[in-house]
C-alpha cells in the first residue's frame, strides 16, 4: 500500500514539483524513490508522485488521477509518442520523452535511427527503470537502448553515474540522416550524444549561409557547420576543445562531401580573445555549454555569455549575422537579451534581432514550469551604429 502524503494547504495550483515546505506529514512506511499518494490538507486526493525526502523537491508528480504506477508509465510513454507522430515524419532522430513536459519528470529518451538513448536524473525514475524499458520495448521495438545517466543532477539524488547498454547492443557513435545530411550521436559525448534541441535552429541559420564565411564556436560534432555548408557557405571554421568531438565532426564533414572547412582545437574563450581584433566572418554561431547548472554559478555564467558574445560581435564583418544561444534555465530570456544588449553597447554596434526562439518542437516545455524552458536562441544582424 502506498504511503500517504498530506499537504499543508487545501488548494494548490498545478506544478509537478512539491517542495518539502509544502508537506504537513507523511503517513505509512516508504523508502525514498517510492511512489506515494498525495492529499490536500482536507484529505482530498490530489495526485500520485515519487518521493525523495533528501531533496528540496520532495515529490515529483506523475498523475492527478489515482492510477497504478504501471498504468501511469504506460500511458505517459504512449502519449509522448503520439504527441510526436507528425513531428517524426521523415526524421530519423528526435526526442521521444522530455521529462516534466511529457509527465515523466527525471526522464529523457532520444531516438537515433533504430536505437534509443535514455537518461535518468532522479531516484524515483531510477526505481522505475525496468518498467520504462519494458514500455519502450512495447511501443518502439528498438534494436538497443543505451543508458547515458551521467548528469550532475544525479548526485543530488544520491545516485552514481550509470552508462551502458541496457537492452541489446550497438556502436559508440550512432549515425542518422537528417535534413539530407549524415549526422551522429556520440554516446561518449555530451547530453544523450547529440544536441537534438538545436536541429531546428541549425536549419534556420542555414538561411543566412549562402556564400558566407562562417564561424562555428563550441561546434561539438558539427551540427551547425554541416547545415551551413549544405546551404552553400563559402567556408566554415569549427572551434571546440574536445579532440574526440572534432574528430567525429571531421569524419562527418568528409562523409557529407565537404572540404571547405577548417578545424581548430582550442579553448573558445582564448581563441575568440586572440582573434577578435579583426573582422573576419560574415556569420558566427555561438552554441556554448550551459555555463550554469545551478543559481550559485549564475554570475559567472552571465559574465561568460557577455564575453563570448562581445568577442563574436567584434570578429564579425559589419553588417554580419550572429546566431547565439544560452542553454540553461538559470538564465532567463530577459537576462540573456540584456547580456547581448550590454555586449553590443561595449562593442559599439547595433543588434537587430531577426529571429528569437528556443528548443525544438520535440522538446516541449510547460508554461506552468519555467524551469523546463531552458534554451534561448537569437539570430541578429550586427551592424555599425548610424
Query: Mind listing the pLDDT tens digit for each residue in 173-207?
Result: 999 999 999 999 999 999 999 999 999 999 999 99
- Average pLDDT of the chain to the nearest whole number: 95
Of 63, 80, 106, the residue that ends a domain is 63
Q: Are residues 99 and 80 in the same domain?
A: yes
- The average pLDDT across 299-313 equals 94
Of 170, 203, 222, the residue that ends a domain is 170
Check whether 90 has a pLDDT greater than 70.
no
The reply to whether 163 belongs to the active site is no
Cα–Cα dist 385/352, whole Å = 11
Q: So what's the pLDDT on residue 17?
A: 96
Q: So what's the pLDDT on residue 308?
A: 97
Q: Are residues 348 and 223 in the same domain?
A: yes
Q: So what's the pLDDT on residue 290?
A: 84
Cα–Cα dist 136/147, whole Å = 13
Give per-residue pLDDT as tens, 372-382.
999 999 999 99
Q: So what's the pLDDT on residue 377?
A: 97
Instruction: Identify the bridge partners of residue 164 per DSSP, sorted by sequence position.
Output: 147
**What's the structural domain count of the chain?**
3
Q: Are residues 127 and 241 in the same domain?
A: no
Cβ pair 214, 237 in contact under 8 A: yes
Cα–Cα dist 114/102, whole Å = 22
Looking up residue 43, the CATH number of its domain turns out to be 2.30.130.10
Q: Are residues 93 and 107 in the same domain?
A: yes
Residue 242: which of 219, 269, 271 has the closest Cα? 219
Check whether 270 has a pLDDT greater than 80.
yes
Q: Which of 163, 205, 214, 327 is catalytic?
A: 327
Tell me phi and psi for residue 370, to 5 degrees: -60, -25
Give per-residue pLDDT as tens, 29-74.
999 999 999 999 999 999 999 999 999 999 999 999 999 999 999 9
Q: So what's the pLDDT on residue 89?
A: 62
- The average pLDDT across 129-158 equals 95
Residue 276: which of 245, 320, 229 has the closest Cα? 320
Q: Tell me what percent of the residues of the chain surpass a pLDDT of 90.
A: 88
Q: Are residues 375 and 276 in the same domain?
A: yes
Cα–Cα dist 329/314, whole Å = 27
Check whether 279 has a pLDDT greater than 80.
yes
Q: Are residues 292 and 260 in the same domain?
A: yes
SS3 category, 223: helix
Cβ pair 108, 146 in contact under 8 A: no
Looking up residue 81, the CATH number of its domain turns out to be 3.30.750.80
SS3 category, 99: helix
Q: Are residues 48 and 137 in the same domain?
A: no
Give per-residue pLDDT as tens, 9-19.
998 988 999 99
CB atoms within 10 A of CB 240: 23
- In what order do the strands lie in the sheet containing 35-39? 17-19, 57-63, 45-51, 35-39, 4-7, 23-27
Q: Tell me what percent of the residues of the chain surpass a pLDDT of 70.
A: 99
Which whole-number Å values give the CA distances from 167 to 73, 81, 123, 201, in the listed order?
18, 19, 20, 32
Of 24, 45, 63, the residue that ends a domain is 63
Which structural domain range is residue 38 located in? 4-63
Cα–Cα dist 169/178, whole Å = 23
Q: Are residues 205 and 161 in the same domain?
A: no
Q: Are residues 342 and 209 in the same domain?
A: yes
- The average pLDDT across 224-245 equals 98
Q: So what's the pLDDT on residue 152?
A: 87
- The average pLDDT across 268-280 equals 93
Cα–Cα dist 295/292, whole Å = 7
Looking up residue 239, the CATH number of its domain turns out to be 3.40.50.150
Check whether 122 has a pLDDT greater than 90.
yes
Tell me phi and psi for residue 333, to 5 degrees: -60, -40
Give per-residue pLDDT as tens, 327-356.
988 899 999 999 999 999 999 999 999 999
Check whether 245 has a pLDDT greater than 80.
yes
- The average pLDDT across 231-246 equals 98
Cα–Cα dist 350/328, whole Å = 25
Tell me phi and psi for residue 27, to 5 degrees: -105, 135
- Alpha-helix residue ranges (DSSP H) falling in 84-152: 123-127, 129-140
Q: Are residues 79 and 151 in the same domain?
A: yes
Q: Are residues 155 and 180 in the same domain?
A: no
What is the helix (H) or strand (E) element at residue 274, kind and residue range? Answer: helix 268-275
Predicted TM-score of the model (pTM): 0.94
Q: Are residues 294 and 312 in the same domain?
A: yes
Q: pLDDT tier at 363 (50, 70, 90 boundaries)?
A: very high
Q: So what's the pLDDT on residue 112?
A: 96
Amino acid at each position: 500500500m502506498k504511503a500517504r502524503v498530506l499537504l499543508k494547504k487545501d488548494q494548490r495550483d498545478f506544478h509537478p514539483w512539491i517542495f518539502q515546505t509544502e508537506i504537513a506529514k507523511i503517513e505509512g512506511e516508504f523508502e525514498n524513490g517510492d511512489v506515494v499518494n498525495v492529499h490536500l490538507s482536507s484529505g482530498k486526493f490530489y495526485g500520485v508522485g515519487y518521493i525523495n525526502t533528501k531533496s528540496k523537491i520532495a515529490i515529483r508528480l506523475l498523475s492527478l488521477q489515482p492510477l497504478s504506477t504501471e498504468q501511469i508509465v504506460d500511458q505517459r510513454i504512449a502519449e509522448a509518442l503520439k504527441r510526436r507522430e507528425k513531428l517524426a515524419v521523415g526524421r530519423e532522430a528526435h526526442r521521444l520523452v522530455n521529462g516534466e513536459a511529457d509527465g515523466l519528470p527525471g526522464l529523457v529518451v532520444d531516438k537515433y535511427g533504430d536505437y534509443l538513448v535514455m537518461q535518468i536524473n532522479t531516484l524515483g525514475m531510477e526505481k522505475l527503470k525496468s518498467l520504462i524499458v519494458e514500455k519502450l520495448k512495447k511501443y518502439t521495438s528498438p534494436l538497443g537502448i543505451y543508458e547515458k545517466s551521467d548528469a550532475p543532477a544525479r548526485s543530488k539524488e544520491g545516485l552514481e553515474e550509470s552508462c551502458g547498454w541496457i537492452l541489446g547492443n550497438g556502436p559508440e557513435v550512432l549515425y542518422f540522416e537528417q535534413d539530407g545530411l549524415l549526422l551522429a550521436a556520440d554516446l561518449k559525448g555530451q547530453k544523450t550524444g547529440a544536441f537534438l534541441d538545436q536541429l531546428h535552429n541549425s536549419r534556420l541559420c542555414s538561411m543566412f549561409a549562402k556564400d558566407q564565411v562562417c564561424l562555428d564556436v563550441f561546434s561539438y560534432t558539427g551540427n551547425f557547420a554541416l547545415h551551413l555548408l549544405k546551404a552553400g557557405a563559402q567556408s566554415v571554421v569549427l572551434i571546440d576543445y574536445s579532440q574526440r568531438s572534432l574528430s567525429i565532426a571531421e569524419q562527418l564533414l568528409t562523409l557529407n562531401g565537404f572540404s571547405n572547412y577548417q578545424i581548430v582545437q582550442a579553448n573558445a574563450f582564448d581563441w575568440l580573445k586572440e582573434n577578435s581584433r579583426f573582422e573576419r566572418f560574415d556569420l558566427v554561431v555561438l552554441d556554448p555549454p550551459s555555463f550554469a547548472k545551478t543559481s550559485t554559478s549564475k554570475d559567472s555564467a552571465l559574465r561568460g555569455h557577455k564575453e563570448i558574445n562581445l568577442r563574436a560581435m567584434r570578429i564579425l564583418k559589419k553588417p554580419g549575422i550572429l546566431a547565439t544561444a544560452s542553454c540553461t534555465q538559470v538564465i532567463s530570456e530577459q537576462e540573456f537579451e540584456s547580456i547581448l544588449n550590454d555586449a553590443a553597447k561595449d562593442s559599439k554596434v547595433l543588434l537587430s534581432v531577426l529571429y528569437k526562439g528556443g528548443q525544438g518542437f520535440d522538446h516541449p516545455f510547460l508554461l506552468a514550469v519555467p524551469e523546463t524552458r531552458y534554451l534561448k536562441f537569437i539570430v541578429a544582424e550586427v551592424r555599425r551604429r548610424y
